[in-house]
Structure formats: structure tokens, C-alpha cells
Amino acid sequence: MGLRELSLKEEYRSDRENLIEEFFIPCLDNCIEYDRAIEYATLKSLTGYYFGLKSFLENKVQIRIVTGHRFRTSDLNIFSKLYGKKSSLFPLKLTPTKEKKFSVLNKMIETNKLKMKIAIPNSEEVYGSFGEKIGIFHDENDDMVAFTGTSNETFDPRNRNFESIDVFTSWNDKSRVDIKTNDFENLWQNKTKNISVYGFEDAVEKNLLSYSAEWILNQS
């Protein structure tokens, strides 16, 4: 079954639909590539892909994430250890739950299923941090589904925001999907005006990452 066979809506909104169960999981179950631009990446949101799809590591899905440069203290230390392959900024003291998540992410990275880059504004025309929210699913039939909106993909029923997303498909709205695909590719290749994109290890070495106030990130 491919993306085209799914019964997708043009919009999903929290008062009418369950965005995770009705949109994200069906699309992830039927894609081979998933590209995501998001303001904040957390340990919980990234491992949510695995826990949302029980056999995720046996699937062929390749994930590319472009995210902003602010992280929770504990998450930044873990990501630095995973991607930098060096000592983390501080010794890791993981709870059993976080130890399991660390193991899951490590396997996803080692098997080349999860790649992450950091986007940082480099112009006075852009204030604050990177905050784009787009996603694109690709399947083995070259069909694509793109969306704009939500930053919440924790697969946790206790942590759902009230939000909405707009959905575009390559078979009904190819021009919009092409725009989103090009936007993401330009980000990934560091060809976007006013934004500089770095590999995670490079961003760590250049001291470009920062800790974010705990209240900003309620996903982990």
C-alpha cells in the first residue's frame, strides 16, 4: 500500500481529528523517506518515530531532520554524544527510560535511518531562531505528501497541543508539493537565504548550539 491509497484530508485539526493516528502514523507506515523541518528536536519527539511504529527499525524509512539550535540541557548532551561520537558536554546520567531512548536513537543513526542538521539565522532580517514547520513523505511509487503546521510528533496521548496542519499531495497538488520539496532540499544543502545549515557535529565544534529554557519545550 502506498501514500496514494490512504484516505487523506486537506486539513487536520485537533477538534475534529487525531493528527497522530489519522495522519502521521499512516503516512510513516507507507513511506520510505520522511523529511522534516522543525523548530525544536527533542529526545522524545525523535524516538517517537520508533515507538509510534513498533517495527520501525526493520522498515526502510529514512528520516532527515532540520531543526533549530536550541535544546534542553539533557537532550543536547545526548545528541552530542550520539552524533559527535565524542564525550558529551557533561557525563551522561540516564534514567532507564532515557537509556532505552538513547539506545534506539543510536541504532537509528548507526543504520543511517536518522540524519539531523542544525539551521541558524545568519541575517539581521531574521530575528530569533529557526522556526519552520514543514514535512514531506515519499513512498516507493514516487508519490509524495507534504504538510505545514505542527511541531508535535511525540506520539504521546498525554502531550497533544491544539493545532492544525494543511496537507498537499503530489497527485492532487503537485506544484505545492514541489515547492515544499525544493524548500527542504535547499535547507538540507545549505542554499537557503538568511539561514546557515550545519551538520550536528560541526555545530557542536563551533559552539553554535544553546540550551533552551525548560518551559519552552514541553515535549520531553
| Cα gap 180→113, rounded to integer Å | 21
**CB atoms < 10 A from the CB of 100, how many?**
14
Give the model's pLDDT for residue 156.
58
The SS3 call for residue 94 is: coil
CA angle 129, 44, 165 (to 5 degrees): 60
Q: Given this model, what pLDDT does residue 50 score?
A: 66
pLDDT in tens, the chain (220 residues): 799 999 999 999 988 988 888 998 899 889 999 999 998 888 877 877 766 665 555 667 889 999 988 888 778 888 888 876 554 445 567 778 778 778 878 888 888 888 999 999 887 776 677 889 999 999 999 999 999 987 666 565 555 677 889 999 999 999 999 999 999 999 999 999 999 999 988 988 888 887 665 534 444 4
pTM of the full predicted structure?
0.85
The sign of the CA dihedral 21, 49, 61, 63 is positive
Pick the CATH number of 13-211 from 3.40.50.2300, 3.40.50.1820, 3.40.600.10, 3.30.870.10: 3.30.870.10
- Note the pLDDT of residue 53: 61
Spatial contact of 32 and 64, defined as CB atoms under 8 Å apart: no
- Per-residue exposure over 186-219, b if at least 16 CB sit within 10 Å of its own CB, e if not: ebbeeebeebebbebeebbeeeebeebeeeebeb
How far, in Å, are 3, 18, 38, 89, 212 from residue 75 at the CA level?
Answer: 32, 27, 16, 11, 10
Cα–Cα–Cα angle for 15, 21, 22, rounded to 5 degrees: 70
C-alpha–C-alpha distance, residues 60 and 31, integer Å = 8
Q: What pLDDT, on the 0 to 100 scale, is given for residue 218?
A: 47
